[in-house]
Structure 1
C-alpha cells in the first residue's frame, strides 16, 4: 500500500510539473500572440479583392468588393486617386505597383490597364493572351520604372511586355496557372511560380531557364532577399525551404507548426538574415532565416473570419507595415 501510495504521489508530482511547464509555455506563446500593433488605420469599410503597399511604405492601393480602386497616402490616410468599376472595360481582380510608385497596373480576366499616378490618367490598356485562346490572367507584375509588365496566365504561359517599344514576348513556363511573377537580377531575370508546384528563374528576353525548384503541391508564397541570394519557397502542405540561389543548396527549413496553416506572404529583411511570413489566417511570424527558428509571432486585427494579410513591407524606421484584407493598415515593432 505504501509503495502504491508513493507511486501515486510521484505520478502526481510529475503530472503537476508537466502541467506547470505547459502553462508556462502556453503563457509565453499567448503573450506573443497577443502582441498589439503600434498603430492601426482602417482605410475602407469593405473587404478587399486585392491590396498592395509601395516598397517604401508610403502608399497603399485598395481594390474593394464594390470594385472601387483607391490610392492612399499612408502617413495621412488621405485619398489620392479613386476609380469606380464603371471606369474599366471589365471587372478588376489584380493590382501591381511600379517600384517608383509612378504607375499602377490593374487586371481583369482578359485586359490590363496601366495608370500614370502622377496624373491619374490611363496610360495604356492592353488585351492579354496566352497560348490557349481561352486563357485568363492569373498574376501581374510591374517593374521598378513600370517599363516592363509581366502577365501570368492560367494556362501556364507568361507574357513579358515592354511599354517603351510596345512589344511583347510570350513564354510557356508552367503546366498550370501562374500565381506569381516578378523581375529579379537587375530586371534581367523572371521569377515565376505556379499551381504545378514549380519555381522557375529564367531570362526575361529569351525565356531560357536558369534554375528551377519544385515542391509537391501548389506554391503559396515565394520571396527573394534584396540581393537575390536567398529564395524562400512554400507550398500548400507546408513543404517550405530557404535556398541559396548561387549554390542551389538548402539553407534551412522553417520549424513550422501546423496551427499556422500555409504561408500566404513572405518577406526577407535584414539582408536576408530574417524572414517574415503571413499565414492564410491572421498570424504573422518572424523567423531566423539561417536556423529556421521562430523568433516571435502575433495576429493582425481581424474584422471578419477570413481576414488575412494582403501586403507587407518594412518602413524606413525599421517597423513592419501590413495591409489586411479588411483594408486596415497596421504598424508593428519587431
Structure 2
C-alpha cells in the first residue's frame, strides 16, 4: 500500500456528490470541457445529453434514430454540437434544436476500414476521425473539405485538435503518439512506447503531455522539446492507466485505472498524493471521462452512468 507522512495509509475518500444518470452500462460517455454537460451512450444505444447542474435531460435519441449501431460520442468545445459515430456513419446534431444537421459515411484508405476514434472541434465545424487501419480523416463543414492522412500502423485510439486546429494529436495501437500539422500531415513530434497507448492527455497550455501504454510504461514530457519532465513513482509491476487529466496548471496529474481506482499525483516529485475508488454499481465499472469543474473539483463519469464530484 502506498503511504504518506509517518507511514499513515492513504484514507478512503467519499465523493462530495453522486448521481446516476442511467441504470445501464455505457458504451461511451463524455463530459463537456466546462463540466456543464454530460453525454451518455448506453448498451441499448440510447443516446442522452444531460445538464450536470440540474441533472435534467436535454436531448435523447434511440437506436432506431441511426442507420447503424453507435459507438463513439464527442461534444464540441462550445457545447453547441454533438458528434456520434458507428463503425462507418458520422452524425452531427445541433444541441440547441436537437436536430440532425449532417450525416455521412466515412471511408479510409482501405474501403473496409471502420472508425476507431472521434473528436469534434471547439466550434463544432471541424471533425477528426481515427480509423482502424491507421489513417486520420479531417472534415471541415464550413469549407466542405475532407483530408486524409496515413500516419499510424494500427487502429487510431485518440485524436484531438491542438493550437486552434493548426496541429493534431493522434495516438494508436502501434505505440506512437504524434503531433502533426493539420494542413499537410507533416509530423512535428513523435513520442513512442513499446505497446499500444491506453491513455493520453495534454495540460491546458498544451505544453505538458502524458502518455501511457498497455503495460506499465509512461511518458511525461515537454511537448515542444520532447524532454522528460517527470516520472510517476509507484510500486508493483503493472499499472494500467485508462484515463489521465492534468490539473493545477500542470502541477497535478489525475489518473484512472482500468478498474475503479483514481490516483492524484504530484508531478514535481512524481509521488502519489492520494487514491480512492469510484462508486461501483456493476462488475467491471470504470471511469469513461473526467474533468475539473468551475469550483476546482474533479468530476468523473463512470461506465455505470454515475456522475461523481471529488476533492482531489
TM-score higher than 0.5: yes
Q: Is the 8 A contact 2:216 2:237 kept in 1?
A: no
Q: Judging changes above 3 Å, is the alpha-carbon distance between structure 1 residues 30 and 37 closer, same or farther for their aligned structure 2 residues?
A: farther
Give the drift of 1:302.
0.8
Give the 5 Å matches for 1:224-235.
224-235=202-213
Please say if 1:323 is aligned against 2:297. no
Report what 1:90 is aligned to: 68
Choose between structure 1 and 2: higher strand proportion: 2
Q: Is the 8 A contact 1:260 1:279 kept in 2?
A: no
Please say if 1:122 is aligned against 2:81. no
Q: Which runs of 5+ in 1 are unaligned?
A: 1-22
Which of residues 150, 155, 180 in structure 2 aligns to 1:172? 150
Q: Judging changes above 3 Å, is the alpha-carbon distance between structure 1 residues 166 and 282 closer, same or farther for their aligned structure 2 residues?
A: same
Report what 1:62 is aligned to: 40
Question: Whose radius of gyration is greater, 1 or 2?
Answer: 1
Choose between structure 1 and 2: higher helix proportion: 1
> Runs of 4+ in structure 1 displaced over 4 angstroms?
23-26, 28-31
Q: Judging changes above 3 Å, is the alpha-carbon distance between structure 1 residues 190 and 252 closer, same or farther for their aligned structure 2 residues?
A: same
What TM-score, normalized to structure 1?
0.90
Give the drift of 1:256.
2.7
Report what 2:193 is aligned to: 215
Give the 5 Å matches for 1:266-305.
266-305=244-283
Give the 5 Å matches for 1:88-237.
88-237=66-215
C-alpha distance in 2 between matches for 1:32 and 1:222 = 26
Which stretch has the larger CA shift, 254-263 or 230-239?
A: 254-263
What TM-score, normalized to structure 2?
0.96
Q: Is the 8 A contact 2:135 2:149 kept in 1?
A: yes
Give the drift of 1:257.
3.4
Q: Judging changes above 3 Å, is the alpha-carbon distance between structure 1 residues 81 and 260 closer, same or farther for their aligned structure 2 residues?
A: farther
Q: Is the 8 A contact 2:92 2:101 kept in 1?
A: yes
Give the drift of 1:291.
2.2
3-state SS of 1:271 partner:
helix
Q: Deviations over 1:213-258 (max 9, x none)?
A: 1000000000011111111000001111100112210111111334
Q: Deviations over 1:133-183 (max 9, x none)?
A: 110000000000111100000000000000101110000010000000001
* Aligned alpha-carbon RMSD (Å): 1.8
- Matched positions, count: 312
Report what 2:51 is aligned to: 73
Which of residues 234, 240, 243 in structure 2 aligns to 1:265? 243
